[in-house]
Amino acid sequence: MNRLGCVRPTQRRRALWVRAVRRARPLAWATACLLACDSPTVVPAAFAYDPTSLTGGVRYRWSTNQRVRVFVEPTASGTQGDVRAAVERGVAQWNRVPRGDGFTLDVTSTRSNAHVVVFERATPLPLVPDAGCPFSPGSAGGYTYFCAAAGGRAATLRWSDGGAGVLSVAIRVDAGRADGQGGLDALVAHELGHAVGIGGHSDDSGDVMFPQPRVAAPSGRDTQTLRWLLGQSVQLIL
C-alpha cells in the first residue's frame, strides 16, 4: 500500500502539480545572499514557508547525491525567449544553494538519460502522461508535473517518441507570458524549485517561489526552505 502523507491510502497514484501564473512585471534581482560560510550539513530548524502546501503535506526530493539531468526541448528561437538559457541559469542558481548530500542539477543534451524535461508551451508534448495522473496545465504560466507511484517513488514517464529513459518530472513553461528573458529566467527558476523538492509557494515577492516569480536567484528564505526539506524524511523520491 502506498501511503503518502495525508493522501488517502486507497489512492495509489496521484498527480502532484504546481503552477505559477506569470504577469508582466519587470525583473527585480534579489539581493545576493552570502552563503559561502553556511555549513551545508546543518539542517535549519524550520522552513521559511511550507514546502508542502501544494502537495497536501507530501514531502519529496531526489535520492541522496542524485545527479539530476535536465533536458530542454528545442524551442523556436526569438519570440518565445530562450528556454535553454533560462534553464542553464536556473540550474546554476539552485546548485549554489548548500545542499549537503542533496541533488546536483546538470543540463543534458541526451533525452535518454534525462530525469527532467523542460519544454515550451508551443512545442508538442514530449512525454506520455502517466495513466493515473492527468497532465492538466490549463493556462498556467509554469507547470511542474510528476506522478506518485507505488513504493514511494515517482512514476517513470514515457517519452512521446517511444524512446527509453528515466524521466520522472516534466516542466511546461509559457514563454509568451514571461516579461522578456529576465521574466523567463524567473519563471524557469521557480519551476526548477518545484522540481528539486519545494512543493509550496512563498508569500514574499523577494523569493523565487513567490507565485508570480520576479527573481531568479534563490533568496535566503528559499535556501532555508530547501535545506530544511532536504534534511527531512520524505514520502516520495523523484
Which residue ranges make up the site for Zn ion (CB under 5 A)?
Answer: 18, 20
**Minimum distance of Zn ion from residue 16's CB (angstroms):** 12
Pair 153, 4: CB distance under 8 Å: no
Q: Is the dihedral of CA 46, 3, 155, 130 positive or negative?
A: negative
Nearer of residues 20 and 215 to Zn ion, judged by Cβ: 20
Nearer of residues 2 and 87 to Zn ion, judged by Cβ: 87
Nearer of residues 20 and 72 to Zn ion, judged by Cβ: 20
Q: How far is Cα 127 from Cα 169, in angstroms, rounded to an integer? A: 10
Instruction: Name the residue number minimizing CB distance to Zn ion.
Output: 20
Nearer of residues 20 and 149 to Zn ion, judged by Cβ: 20
**Minimum distance of Zn ion from residue 189's CB (angstroms):** 11
**Minimum distance of Zn ion from residue 212's CB (angstroms):** 9
The C-alpha R_g of the chain, in whole angstroms, comes to 16
Q: Which residues have a Cβ under 8 Å from the Cβ of 128 and sit 6 or more positions away? A: 157, 158, 159, 160
**Minimum distance of Zn ion from residue 174's CB (angstroms):** 13
Pairing verdict, β 104-108 and 158-159: unpaired
**Minimum distance of Zn ion from residue 213's CB (angstroms):** 8
Pair 160, 128: CB distance under 8 Å: yes
Nearer of residues 20 and 216 to Zn ion, judged by Cβ: 20
Pair 75, 120: CB distance under 8 Å: yes
